[in-house]
Structure 1
Amino acid sequence: MRLNNPFTTSFGTIQDKEFFITEAIDVKGSSGFGESVAFTSPWYTEETVETTRHMIEDFLIKILQENEINHPDEVTDLFAVIKRNNMAKAAIEGAIWDLYAKRNNISLTQALGGQKKQIDVGISIGIQASTSDLIDKIDYYLQEGYKRIKLKIKPGHDIEVLRVVRKHFPDTPIMADANSAYTLEDIDLLKQLDDFHLMMIEQPLAHDDIIDHAKLQAAIETPICLDESIHSLDDAKKAIESGSCEIINIKIGRVGGLTEARRIHDHCQQKGVKVWCGGMLEAGVGRAHNIALTTLPQFVLPGDTAGSALYFEKDIIKPEVIAKNGVINIPDKPGIGYEIDSDQLEQFRIDFKTFDLRGS
């Protein structure tokens, strides 16, 4: 699927999104749907579209064929024998969660234990060609009612940009996302972020780091939010205990699925650490999973789950996800709460494979 607009970060620019839609079908013909979030190249994590295919076909499906599943939580435990490859795991686990909710005639929100009827959403803005373009985009999205603005930064495109933005929007909730573009050698520069009263700086240092982030957090007032460093509940516990962050961004694909995402949420709730749900340029199915997860109580900050139309000319679900005045109303239908638009799915689909989980 082609994004309406190119999305640029410190890693590069994306406009075409290639991914898998997974469908889990039970013996009665009920279906649950999941979505993979890995990109074509391994710039965000080590996973790619191709490694996702490899892991699903050659390992994860076989595990499901050899075991009986009574609850989606069991999928996470069964997949634990496979190291990392969390996005591949989440692509399957999400479909099973959706199917589980539908079989029990409850929404995915209810199945996860969420209670919110609506969620606040922010918007993530990629690096723009000029500062004036960025100001125009921010102004547009604020008029649309989005509750928080996330800006991508990188060395050479940071302090001066934020200074201009803050001058134009002195009271707007703004956060900066560095996608691991800095090191501790940039600590004097990063200290200048305190002047802009940001909600947070997301993943300023290395993608696999916790220790250096603790040193940086001790040196700056701006709250650090960890993203790429958190792949599991264990990672979250270590980050919190070491003082590496004050906020955690929970992405379903990055942590291996809804079960682990909920476990991280629960621990953060116990420790009083704020969480929010980040986006991976998902189509409608993945977007619906994000919405359901965000209904859990410790998701107290607006996430990146904006409406479908901001990303794609036509989504693969109906109705499409709609954000009005920075709010998304939570669907109460069984499962993810949205129907698959079969015609659109067929239009975008380039391949199709089926697997019998009974092994016959």
Structure 2
Amino acid sequence: MSTEVKITAARMHRVRMPLVHEFQTSSHRKKFLDHILVELEDACGAVGWGEIASPSDPYYAPETVETCWNIAERYLLPAVIGQGWDRPEQVSQLWAKVRGNQFAKAGVDVAAWVLWSTIQGVSLADALGGTRTEVTAGVSLGIEPTIDDLLAEVERQTAAGYPRVKLKIAPGWDVEPVRAVRSAYPDLDLHVDANGIYTEDDALRALDEFGLTMIEQPFAPRDLLAHARLQQAISTPICLDESIETVADLDTAVSLGALEVLNIKVSRMGGLTAARAAHDRAQQVGIPVWCGGMHEFGIGRAVNVAVSSLPGFTLPSDVSASEKYYARDIVEPAVVAVEGVVQVPEATGLGHKVDIELIAANTVATLSL
């Protein structure tokens, strides 16, 4: 069935949710998150939900919650209201003149995909072309006050059945924490994520001895030549995250030999349309991919599960259970992992019911167009 979709109303909700465990990266520490939820409604009353999962501060990427709200209100939502389209891939063409602002775009693009799959009566995974019925999940652990605290967190997550653990690292918190975890867990699928904080003068090569699955984003996003030089010097695969916002970025990085693994984040790449295109190109050039996360609420988490059902996602993805981050999530049922495995929803659209009351109770700003 193919039916033209015309969005007649759009709403945004800035929602604040506390984390069950504070999370520290190389740049900052988080106790709670503000994300923007996007609602798109068509003429028949069907609704699609998306999530703008940008950080609050411009450390991971240039965008913040405030910039995303501004761009969505002034440019993205006005571009889609009243415009007809047949496929969700066409929606991003409506704001083609807007450069960058990938997080803001992602929330609207995702809402369009969820709306379309709901109208079509198919699951989001099926709409994307997913082939898996379950997804292997990994967990991401922040920088802890002590190595003992870190080992306790690793124990907690491996006991929960997660087969892969990612450690955030920074200069001064790298070799010794990794050594301790590897010594305690010699067979664990373990990798590290620097969020671009290192320079080539830092002792990253010392991590090559620990049998890591990958070293993720050691250098600044645009410093692809440094990544290529490090990849030539070590056997551990380099994974790029912040460096890859477009398929053109991926092509450049592949040509330079700057990566052997790609982290696809729906939010960072501007939505499901771009994420699927990056997945397809990575498959063509033989680069394995996995889905990274931004501590999404249940809407974004369910979307990550759906995209991880695509065939090229061969490594564990950051789609851990809702309970790892939130005491109560904004979708029902919450995303659940059993022995590190998450089931891909078969229900239409998002595959989860959105908890309107919980959203309202945690909303700090709203907008209707």
Sort the TM-score into its range (normalised by shorter chain): over 0.9
SS class of match (2:34): coil
1:76 is displaced (CA, Å) by 2.1
Offset from partner CA, 1:217-245 (integer Å, 9 cap, x none): 11111100000000011111111121100
Q: Which amino acid aligns with 1:350?
A: V
Q: CA deviation at 1:354?
A: 1.3
TM-score normalised to the size of structure 2? 0.94
Aligned equivalent of 2:287: 273
| Structure with greater strand percent | 2
2:352 to 338, 344, 348: 338
State the Cα distance separating 1:81 from its structure 2 match.
1.3
Aligned to 1:102: 118
Does the aligned pair in 2 maintain the 1:180–1:204 contact within 8 Å? Answer: yes
What is aligned with 1:33?
49
- Alignment partner of 1:165 is 2:170: no
> Which residue of structure 2 lines up, in the alignment, with residue 328 of structure 1?
342
What letter matches 1:290 in structure 2?
A: N
Aligned to 1:253: 267
Q: Is the 8 A contact 2:75 2:95 kept in 1?
A: no
> How far off is 1:198 after superposition?
0.1
Q: Letter of the 2:221 partner, please give it.
A: H
How many corresponding residue pairs?
353
Give the Cα separation in 2 of the matches to 1:129 and 1:172. Answer: 22
Q: Which of the residues 69, 78, 84 maps onto 2:100?
A: 84
Secondary structure at the counterpart of residue 107 of structure 2: helix
The residue that corresponds to 2:278 in the other structure is 264
Alpha-carbon distance between aligned partners in 1 of 2:214 and 2:97, rounded to the nearest angstrom: 35
Secondary structure at 1:276 match in 2: strand
Q: Which residue of 2 aligns with 1:210?
A: 224
Cα distance, 1:66 vs structure 2: 6.6
> What one-letter code is carried by the residue in structure 1 that aligns with 2:76?
L
Q: Do structure 1's residue 116 and structure 2's residue 118 form an aligned pair?
A: no
Superposition deviation, residue 53 in structure 1: 0.6
SS of the equivalent of 1:184 reads: coil
Q: Among residues 308, 311, 318, which one is paired with 1:304 in the alignment?
A: 318
Gaps of 5+ in 1: 356-360
Query: 1:358 aligns to what?
Result: none
Residue 262 (structure 1) shift? 0.3
Question: 1:147-162 maps to which residues of 2 (within 5 A)?
Answer: 147-162=163-178
Contact 1:76 1:260 in 2 (8 A): no
Corresponding residue number in structure 2 for 1:228: 242
Greater CA drift, 66-75 or 275-284 = 66-75
Q: Deviations over 1:257-279 (max 9, x none)?
A: 10010000001111110100001
Contact 1:118 1:328 in 2 (8 A): yes
Indicate yes or no: 2:334 matched with 1:317: no
For residues 74 and 211 of structure 1, what CA distance do their matches in structure 2 show?
A: 34
Give the distance between the partners of 1:16 and 1:190, measured in 2 at CA: 31
Q: Hey, what does 1:136 align to over in structure 2?
A: 152
Task: Measure, in 1, the Cα distance between the counterparts of 2:327 and 2:349.
Answer: 25
CA deviation after TM superposition for structure 1 residue 7, in Å: 0.5
Amino acid in structure 1 at the alignment position of 2:120: N
Q: Is the contact made by 1:288 and 1:336 (CA closer than 8 Å) also made in structure 2?
A: yes
Measured in 2, the distance between the counterparts of 1:5 and 1:207 equals 28
C-alpha contact (below 8 Å) 1:112/1:293 kept by paired residues: yes
Deviates more, 1:108-117 or 1:132-141: 132-141
* Distance across 1 between alignment mates of 2:250 and 2:166: 22
For the residues of structure 2 that align with 1:248 and 1:170, how far apart are their CA atoms?
25
Compute the displacement of 1:126 (Å): 0.4
8 Å CA contact retained: 1:21, 1:33: yes
Deviation, 1:100, is 0.2
2:86 to 59, 70, 77: 70
3-state secondary structure, aligned to 2:239: strand
Partners of 1:152 and 1:23 in 2: CA distance: 33
1:140: how far off? 1.5
Secondary structure of 1:350's partner? strand
The answer on 1:58 being equivalent to 2:71 is no
Q: Aligned letter for 1:98?
A: V
Give the Cα separation in 2 of the matches to 1:351 and 1:159.
Answer: 43
Aligned-pair CA distance for 1:209: 2.1
Aligned match for 1:46, one of 51, 54, 62: 62
For structure 2, the 5+ residue unaligned runs are 1-16
Q: Deviations over 1:254-303 (max 9, x none)?
A: 00010010000001111110100001010000001100000000100001
What's the Cα RMSD here?
1.0
**Cα displacement string for residues 296-344 of structure 1 (whole angstroms, at most 9, x for unaligned residues):** 0010000111101110111110000000100001110001100011221
Cα drift, residue 40 of structure 1? 1.3
How many angstroms does 1:139 deviate by?
A: 1.3
> Aligned to 2:252, what secondary structure does the other structure show?
helix
* Alignment of 1:241 onto 2:258: no
